[in-house]
Chain A
Amino acid sequence: MQASYKFTNTCFIKIDAMEEGYVGVWFKGKPELHVNPELLLCEFCNEVLDQQVRLDLEKRYGTIRDSIYQFAFAPIKDRIDDWDE
């Protein structure tokens, strides 16, 4: 889904569940935009890879990001308590 979002300016996109473990993504170039299908496919594949990297990192280390935000925006008092512990 995230990888497709990038292409919503130039294409109409449909995403459907296929057989187990597969999804199908259909692209239809928007009129007058002269989308190059081969280039689109290459760019989409790269984007899928990059989004997969982000998803994997999020799964493995997402909690680190949450705790950074929690710590950054905690009231000063809570942070001092944390340090004291």
Chain B
Amino acid sequence: MRNEYSILPFTFKRLPHRKMLMVNQSGEFTFVSSDDFNNLLNHDLVADNSTYFELKGKHFLADTDLDIAQEMVATQLRSRKSFLRHFSSLHMIVVTARCNFICDYCHASSAALEQQKVDMNWAVAKKTVELIFSSPSPVLKIEFQGGEPLLNWPIIKEIVQYGIFLNRFAKRQLEFVICTNLTLLTEEMIDFIKEHKITISTSLDGPKLIQDLHRKTREGYSGYDVFHSNLQRLREGIGQDGASALLTITKSNLSRLQEVIDHYVELGFDGVFLRALNPYGFARQNMEQLGYSVEEFVGEYKNILRYLIELNLQGIPFAEYYTTLLFQRILTPFSTGFVDLQSPSGAAISGVIYDYNGEVYPTDEARMLARTGDRRFKMGHVLKNSYEELFAGALVKKLVKKSCIEVLPGCASCVYQAYCGVDPIRNYVETKDIVGHRPSSDFCKKNTMILDHLFQLIDENDPDVMDVFWSWITRRPLEEIRHDKFNRNSS
């Protein structure tokens, strides 16, 4: 006799040892044996079985309570997608395309120092800030980018002051970030940064030899030495937490990541984002010299994750942010928008970039394409288009429509759909089609391999390892996590 239950929507993957991974629409997951999986599908699962309760509790099946189960999943899905509610909050402004560096992998493909015509002027800057305040988002993060943004310091100051002025009426949570190589930092800048609580995002690829290898100054001096002393000066001014660093992984530092992490720790950083090199700009031209395969990247990612877990267990708190993001999605019900990995894609609707000349693009990569002559992703111009024309135009609608992971070929049936995301611009760069082609996509391969590894760790359920991950997810000290667990277990 068939057992009466309804099966709620889920995706699945076969794992070794006759095990299955199942994930439902709200991102809840479970591991079952393939026998139980078959029993579930054949309606042979009996109600006194622990798998039955697990599947029911996690909303993979419903018996008498289908309506309630549907509502629960819908509510969870709604909160997971709540990053969509407020629309674009990240506004990147390229205040200049000039740079005092000429890095081998720079996808901003910077302009020379004397080319001041690639600086943003006040007319464009003022209109840009007004457009930013047209966004309905309660949080507005304005991120200054370049080139090297400090080369156009006067316009950064004007934008910050005008933004603060407008915010007296708009009352948003207004934040500023400057992405800088730090080498042009002056005392006056440090005072301004401190006064306006601006955070700094800088670049660090490793110790001096590694840092100077691909991050070259136009004038030939060691960028690392200046970076190092300015980082200390900045921290004396704004505190230890005021600056974070971005790591670019090339062939040169991929196999030396342990050394890189040690250097991050030595300089007082408490985390790193392990990003694979993207196929844009100079990096694309120099792939032979800089690039590596997905397999090589993920192999090193696994090694370094092991190393980071060890560090944390030895009492050195240090997180890997991509892993943290994925675990937040896997292990918690909370919303985690992340422009580069969300569905629909964050391009334009979560983050947007204003070029120095007033042109608006959904992502930095779209702006780079325009530099190479392909302007298909230009949303418009701050001086010529209204907020509605820019953000509710045909281009943005198309990007949203074609970047819903739930219906993309390959992704629609992928078990990792609830945790993954879509990058339509990258799809276009790789395949000339914003929908992309998953079977040949390195983006897909990398995420699949990383998520395979993370689920393997979850399945192994080593208490030490999981405690470290929970300390990353909750941003709490490892000791506190263990203390809470001990209290829970003993009560």
Contacts and interface: CB of A to CB of B under 8 A. Distances in A.
Contact of A65 (B25, B409, B413, B439): B25
A64 B437 CA distance: 29
B6 A61 contact: yes
Interface residues on B, range: 20 to 34
A68 B9 contact: yes
Contacts of B440: 8-9
Contacts of B413: 2, 50-51, 54
A17 interface: no
A5 B71 contact: no
A38 to B, nearest CB: 19
A51 B77 CA distance: 24
A73 interface: yes
Interface in A68-85: 68-69, 71-73
B413 to A, nearest CB: 5
Contacts of B81: 72-73
A9 B410 CA distance: 12
A67 interface: yes
A6 interface: yes
Nearest to A10: B439
Contacts of B73: 68, 72
A67 B73 CA distance: 10
A72 B439 contact: no
Chain A binding surface, main DSSP class: helix
Interface string B1-16: 0000011110010100
Contacts of B12: 50, 53
B70 A68 contact: yes
A7 interface: yes
A9 B9 contact: no
Contacts of B438: 5
Contacts of A64: 6, 8-9, 66, 70
B117 interface: no
B457 interface: no
B276 to A, nearest CB: 19
6 contacts: A50-B14, A61-B6, A68-B74, A72-B73, A72-B74, A72-B77
Interface of A: 2, 5-10, 46, 50-51, 53-54, 56-57, 60-62, 64-65, 67-69, 71-73
Given A10-B439, A72-B75, A72-B81, 7 more contacts: A8-B437, A8-B439, A9-B439, A53-B12, A54-B413, A64-B70, A73-B78
